[in-house]
C-alpha cells in the first residue's frame, strides 16, 4: 500500500511538472509536432453556429494578444530545441529560400524524355509548365517507385539505369540548371529488401547525388531526414538540401532546410509551425490527389511558402485546371517578386482585416511592408479591406492588380479599399516614396496578368485520355504450331483490377481498354473470344538464342540486355529457363521473327482462367506446388525451368502462368505516360515495405509497369510468351 501511495505521489509530481511545461507553451499551438505541423490562429476567427452564441469579429487587440503569445512561444521553442541557423545562412543553400514552385516529375514522363529519339527533353518539359502555370523553381525527379521492387535493383540502381547512365543524368540535370531550375531526387529509406548498396545509405546516396550534380533530396515517407545525410554530404564538400515528406521534429529544422506541407485544410488558414520557427525554412505544400488546388495555393500564399505542382502521380495524370494554373502563375509571380520579404523574422500572420473570411500576413523588411492576402469566401469582396498605420510620405500599392491605392482617412483611421475575388488573392506593398525598379516591373506584370479575372478560367477537372497500342494480327494458323496450345473460341468474362498501391478508385487510375471511356482500377466485360494459339510456356533462353543466331538482333538501347548472359549466351544449364532482361521491344522483335505476337491481356487471362472465372490457373485456392517457392531474400534467383510445376497448368494446359516470371502483354499510352501490363507475377518478393511493386498472382489482377526506355524497363523477373491467330 505504501509503495502504491509513493508511486501515486511520484505520478502526481510528474503530472504537475508536465502541467508546468504545458503552461509555458502557447495556448494556440495545440498540436504537438507528431500530430500536426500547424499553429491555430486567433479563436475569434471561428464562426459559431447560431446556437453557440453571437459572432464576435476579431479585434485588433485579439490579434495582438495572439501574436504576442505565439511570438513568445517561438523564442522559447528555438532555445529549447537548440535551433541552429547556420545552414540557412550558408550561401550554398540560399537557393532553397526561393523555390516557391517545385514540380514532382516522373522520369518516365514523355514531356521530359522522348522514347522515340532516346533523348531528354528538358526544354519541352519546362516550356509546358511555363505556358500552363508560369514555371517552376525546382523539380523533384522520380526514377524508381512505383516500379521499384519488380526485381532486386535498388534505388541507386534505378538512377544508373536511366538513359545514358550517370553521364546522361548529369547532362539532363545540367539542362535544368541552364534554365535556373534546381534538381532534387528522392530517397527511400523503406528500400531495405532489394540489393544491399554496400555502404550506409547516407554515404551511398549523397555520393550519388554529388556525382550527378543534384542539389538536394526528398525524404520519401520520412518524418525528418536524419542529420547523418547532411553530414555525409558536407564531408564530401557539398551542401545538399534535404526535404522530408512528413512532419519534422522542431530540432531537425537545423539541417532540414526544406519540407513538405501536407495539411488538414480549414476555412481559417493555419500558420505553418516550421515557417514560424524559422521563416527561411522552405515548405512546399503537397496535395497530390486534390483536383482543386485552391486550398494549397491560398495556404501557401498566406504562409509565404511554396507549392508542389505534382501532376504525374506514379503515371496517373492529375493535371491542374486552367483556373488553378492561372492562380499559380499569379501567386508565383508575386512570391518571386517579393521573395526577400517572405523570409522576414517580423512576419505577422493574421494582420487585422475588415471583411469576414479575408486573411492576411504582413511581411516587414527595411521599413517597407508586403501583405499577402487570401479571400476564403466563395464570393467577391470589395471596399474597405484593412486599416493601416499612416505616416508622412508612405504610399500604398495594390501589388496584385498593379495599381496605386488612395488611402481613405477619417476619424477612425486610415483605410485601404481594393477588390479580392472569390477564393482569390490580393497583395499590398507599403513604401516610403517611390517603389524600386523591380517593384515597378512586378506591378506592371501583375496589372497585365490580372486584367482577366480568375473566375473566367475554367475550374473543371478532366482526366487525360488514354489509348491502348494496337497489335497487328499474325498470319493465321490452322492447327497449333509446335510448343503452342490451342485456346478454343468461347464466351469469357474478363474481370481484372489494377494493383497500384495508391490512387484508390479515382478516374484516371490504372488503364482504359478500348471499350472504356476512361482509365479506372476495376474492369469487367463479357467477351466473345476467337480461337487462337498460345505458347505452352514462356519463351526460354534457348529459344531466344535461336532468334539471335538467325537475325543478329541487337537493340539500339542495349543497356541491361540479357544481363545474365555472358559472351552472347546464357549460363550452362539455363537453356530451359525463361529468358529475362528483355524489354517490351525485344519481346516484340522475337515474336515478329517467330510469326507470332504478344498476347492481348484478355487473351492471356482467358488462356489462364478458362470460362469458369477461377482465381488461379489451377483452381480457386492457392496451391504451393503449382508455382515456384517465393524468394524473399535481397537477390533474384534465376527462374525455374519451364514445365517444373505441371500442377499449375490452366484448364487448357498452359503452364508457368503464375510466379515464374512476369509476362509482357499490352501497352497503354497517354500524352505523358507509357505503361505495360504485366501478368502472372514472379517468385521475387522483396521484404520490408508495402511500397514495392505488388505481385499479381491471381487471374483477376495485373501489374502496371511504367515504361521509359528499354534499358530501364528490362528486369530480371520479366519474360514473355507469344500467341498466334487461328483461321
Alpha helix (H) ranges present in 195-277? 201-212, 227-235, 273-277
Contact call for residues 122 and 139 (beta carbons, < 8 A): no
pLDDT digits (tens, 9 = 90+) for 218-230: 999 999 999 999 9
Q: What is the mean pLDDT of residues 661-688?
A: 98
Report the distance separating Cα 323 and Cα 162, nearest Å: 35
pLDDT value, residue 48? 80
According to DSSP, the residues that pair with 386 across neighbouring strands are 416
In degrees and rounded to multiples of 5, residue 598 shows phi and psi of -75, 150
347, 353, 358, 364 alpha-carbon torsion, rounded to 10°: -20
pLDDT band of residue 52 (cuts 50, 70, 90) is confident
Does pLDDT of 159 surpass 60? yes
Does pLDDT of 18 surpass 60? no
Stretch among 56-65, 573-582, 645-654, 687-696 having the lowest mean pLDDT: 56-65
pLDDT value, residue 55? 81
Q: What is the mean pLDDT of residues 400-429?
A: 97
Evaluated on CA atoms 572, 573, 576, 581, the torsion sign reads negative
pLDDT band of residue 57 (cuts 50, 70, 90) is confident
Contact call for residues 352 and 422 (beta carbons, < 8 A): no
pLDDT value, residue 50? 85
Task: Give the three-state DSSP class for 110.
Answer: coil
pLDDT digits (tens, 9 = 90+) for 327-349: 999 999 999 999 999 999 999 99
pLDDT value, residue 37? 86
Q: What is the mean pLDDT of residues 121-136?
A: 98
Stretch among 15-24, 75-84, 466-475, 592-601 having the lowest mean pLDDT: 15-24
pLDDT digits (tens, 9 = 90+) for 23-49: 455 665 544 443 468 999 998 998 888
Q: Which is nearest to 137 in space by CA: 277, 262, 258?
A: 258
- Alpha-carbon distances of 642 from 151, 284, 626, 629, rounded to whole Å: 19, 51, 12, 14
pLDDT digits (tens, 9 = 90+) for 495-530: 999 999 999 999 999 999 999 999 999 999 999 999
Contact call for residues 267 and 299 (beta carbons, < 8 A): no
Q: What percent of the chain has pLDDT over 90?
A: 91
pLDDT digits (tens, 9 = 90+) for 177-217: 999 999 999 999 999 999 999 999 999 999 999 999 999 99
Q: What is the mean pLDDT of residues 154-176?
A: 98
Cβ neighbourhood burial of 367 (10 Å; 0-12, 13-18, 19+): exposed
pLDDT digits (tens, 9 = 90+) for 572-585: 999 999 999 999 99
What domains appear along the chain, each with residue ranges and CATH number? 86-261 (3.20.20.80), 467-725 (3.90.1580.10)
Does pLDDT of 54 surpass 90? no
What is this structure's pTM? 0.94
Stretch among 42-46, 454-458, 554-558, 591-595 having the lowest mean pLDDT: 42-46
Residue reference for cell 497517354: 670
In degrees and rounded to multiples of 5, residue 233 shows phi and psi of -65, -45
Peptide bond into 146 cis (omega under 30): yes
Contact call for residues 578 and 642 (beta carbons, < 8 A): yes
pLDDT band of residue 390 (cuts 50, 70, 90) is confident
- CB neighbour burial string for 489-498, b if at least 16 within 10 angstroms, e if fewer: eeebebebbb
Q: What is the pLDDT of the chain when averaged over all its residues? A: 94
Does pLDDT of 21 surpass 90? no
Q: What is the mean pLDDT of residues 587-607?
A: 98
Task: Give the three-state DSSP class for 225.
Answer: coil
Contact call for residues 599 and 721 (beta carbons, < 8 A): yes
- Alpha-carbon distances of 242 from 2, 71, 82, 107, 211, rounded to whole Å: 53, 27, 19, 20, 17
**Chain centroid offset of residue 32 CA:** 26
Alpha helix (H) ranges present in 488-564? 541-551
Amino acid at each position: 500500500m505504501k509503495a502504491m501511495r509513493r508511486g501515486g505521489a511520484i505520478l502526481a509530481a510528474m503530472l504537475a511538472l508536465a502541467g508546468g511545461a504545458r503552461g509555458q507553451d502557447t495556448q494556440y499551438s495545440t498540436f504537438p509536432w507528431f500530430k500536426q505541423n500547424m499553429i491555430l490562429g486567433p479563436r475569434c476567427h471561428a464562426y459559431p453556429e447560431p446556437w453557440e452564441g453571437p459572432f464576435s469579429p476579431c479585434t485588433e487587440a485579439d490579434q495582438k494578444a495572439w501574436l504576442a503569445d505565439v511570438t513568445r512561444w517561438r523564442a522559447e521553442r528555438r532555445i529549447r530545441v537548440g535551433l541552429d541557423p547556420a545552414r540557412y545562412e550558408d550561401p550554398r543553400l540560399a537557393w532553397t529560400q526561393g523555390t516557391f514552385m517545385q514540380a514532382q516529375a516522373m522520369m518516365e514522363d514523355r514531356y521530359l524524355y522522348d522514347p522515340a529519339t532516346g533523348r531528354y527533353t528538358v526544354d519541352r518539359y519546362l516550356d509546358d509548365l511555363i505556358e500552363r502555370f508560369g514555371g517552376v523553381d525546382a523539380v523533384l525527379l522520380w526514377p524508381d517507385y512505383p516500379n521499384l521492387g519488380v526485381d532486386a535493383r535498388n534505388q541507386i540502381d534505378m538512377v544508373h539505369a536511366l538513359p545514358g547512365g550517370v553521364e546522361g543524368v548529369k547532362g539532363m540535370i545540367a539542362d535544368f540548371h541552364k534554365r535556373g531550375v534546381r534538381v532534387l531526387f528522392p530517397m527511400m529509406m523503406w528500400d531495405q529488401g532489394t540489393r544491399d548498396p554496400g555502404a550506409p545509405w547516407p554515404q551511398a546516396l549523397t555520393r550519388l547525388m554529388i556525382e550527378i550534380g543534384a542539389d538536394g533530396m526528398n525524404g520519401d515517407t520520412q518524418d525528418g531526414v536524419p542529420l547523418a545525410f547532411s553530414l555525409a554530404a558536407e564531408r564530401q564538400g557539398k551542401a545538399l538540401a534535404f526535404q522530408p515528406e512528413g512532419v519534422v521534429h522542431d530540432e531537425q529544422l537545423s539541417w532540414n532546410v526544406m519540407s513538405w506541407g501536407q495539411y488538414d485544410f480549414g476555412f481559417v488558414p493555419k500558420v505553418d509551425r516550421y515557417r514560424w520557427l524559422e521563416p527561411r525554412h522552405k515548405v512546399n505544400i503537397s496535395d497530390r490527389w486534390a483536383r482543386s488546388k485552391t486550398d494549397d495555393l491560398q495556404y501557401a500564399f498566406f504562409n509565404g511558402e511554396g507549392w508542389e505542382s505534382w501532376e504525374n502521380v506514379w503515371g496517373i495524370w492529375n493535371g491542374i485546371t486552367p483556373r488553378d494554373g492561372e492562380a499559380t502563375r499569379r501567386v508565383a509571380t508575386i512570391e518571386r517578386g517579393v521573395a526577400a520579404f517572405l523570409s522576414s523574422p517580423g512576419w505577422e500572420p493574421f494582420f487585422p482585416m475588415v471583411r469576414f473570411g479575408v486573411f492576411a500576413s504582413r511581411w516587414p523588411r527595411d521599413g517597407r511592408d508586403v501583405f499577402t492576402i487570401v479571400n476564403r469566401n466563395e464570393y467577391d469582396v470589395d471596399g474597405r479591406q484593412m486599416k493601416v498605420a499612416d505616416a508622412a510620405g508612405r504610399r500604398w500599392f495594390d501589388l496584385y492588380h498593379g495599381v496605386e491605392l488612395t488611402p481613405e482617412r477619417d476619424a477612425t483611421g486610415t483605410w485601404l479599399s481594393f477588390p479580392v475575388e472569390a477564393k482569390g488573392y490580393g497583395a499590398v506593398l507599403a513604401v516610403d516614396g517611390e517603389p524600386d525598379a523591380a517593384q515597378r516591373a512586378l506591378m506592371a506584370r501583375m496589372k497585365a496578368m490580372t486584367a482577366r479575372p480568375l473566375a473566367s478560367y475554367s475550374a473543371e477537372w478532366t482526366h487525360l485520355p488514354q489509348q491502348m497500342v494496337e497489335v497487328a494480327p499474325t498470319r493465321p494458323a490452322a492447327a497449333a504450331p509446335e510448343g503452342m496450345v490451342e485456346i478454343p473460341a468461347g464466351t469469357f468474362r474478363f474481370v481484372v483490377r489494377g494493383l497500384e498501391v495508391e490512387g484508390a478508385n479515382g478516374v484516371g487510375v490504372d488503364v482504359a481498354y478500348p471499350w472504356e471511356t476512361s482509365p479506372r482500377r476495376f474492369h469487367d466485360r463479357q467477351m466473345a473470344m476467337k480461337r487462337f494459339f498460345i505458347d505452352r510456356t514462356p519463351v526460354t533462353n534457348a529459344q531466344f538464342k535461336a532468334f539471335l543466331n538467325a537475325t543478329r538482333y541487337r537493340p539500339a538501347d542495349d543497356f541491361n540486355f540479357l544481363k545474365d548472359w555472358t559472351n552472347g549466351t546464357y549460363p550452362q544449364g539455363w537453356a530451359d529457363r525463361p529468358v529475362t532482361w528483355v524489354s517490351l521491344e525485344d519481346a516484340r522483335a522475337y515474336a515478329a521473327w517467330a510469326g507470332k505476337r504478344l498476347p492481348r491481356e484478355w487473351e492471356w487471362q482467358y488462356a489462364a482462367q478458362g470460362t469458369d472465372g477461377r482465381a488461379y490457373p489451377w483452381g480457386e485456392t492457392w496451391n504451393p506446388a503449382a508455382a515456384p517457392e517465393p524468394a524473399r531474400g535481397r537477390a533474384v534467383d534465376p527462374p525455374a525451368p519451364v514445365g517444373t510445376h505441371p500442377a499449375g497448368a490452366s484448364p487448357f494446359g498452359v503452364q508457368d502462368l503464375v510466379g515464374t516470371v512476369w509476362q509482357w502483354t499490352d501497352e497503354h499510352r497517354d500524352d505523358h505516360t507509357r505503361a505495360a501490363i504485366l501478368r502472372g507475377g514472379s517468385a521475387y518478393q522483396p521484404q520490408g515495405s508495402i511500397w514495392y511493386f505488388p505481385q499479381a498472382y491471381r487471374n483477376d489482377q495485373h501489374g502496371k509497369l511504367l515504361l521509359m526506355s528499354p534499358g530501364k524497363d528490362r528486369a530480371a523477373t520479366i519474360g514473355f510468351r507469344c500467341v498466334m491467330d487461328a483461321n
